[in-house]
Amino acid sequence: MKSLSNKDAYDDALFAEGSIYTVGTNDGAHFKEVIFVGTRLYHGKPMMVFRTKDKRTVTINPSFHSFVIEEHLTELNEVLYEQTGWGADENKES
């Protein structure tokens, strides 16, 4: 498990790729059990990218991020992420 530290203010690594979260935004929307797949730049600003179980992509502007709940605390999350193939088409354009 990664220890909490404020040593690197530019990259706190709040989310772990392959981990499952419920994410809420400040307009009251929430997305249950989504997998964090990384970040993408949109006009130079990094956006948080999640994948749903039905392989839909949810992109959230960090400015509108309100809360996050880590759903499954297990070391197998990254292995399961790779095995499900959810990240297999990450580099493909839609």
pTM above 0.85, yes or no: no
Q: Domain ranges in the chain?
A: 20-73
Average pLDDT of the residues of the chain: 76
Q: Quick one: which of 59, 12, 11 has its CA closest to 34?
A: 59
CB atoms within 10 A of CB 43: 5
pLDDT-based confidence at residue 62 (cuts at 50, 70, 90): confident
Per-residue confidence (pLDDT) for residue 57, from 0 to 100: 93
Per-residue confidence (pLDDT) for residue 76, from 0 to 100: 55
* Gap between the Cα atoms of 84 and 51, Å rounded: 11
Q: Which fold has domain 20-73?
A: SH3 type barrels. (2.30.30)
* Gap between the Cα atoms of 16 and 72, Å rounded: 12
Model confidence over 67-89: pLDDT tens digits? 888 886 555 555 666 666 655 55
Element (H, E) at 51: strand 45-51
Q: How many residues belong to the chain?
A: 94
* Gap between the Cα atoms of 36 and 13, Å rounded: 12
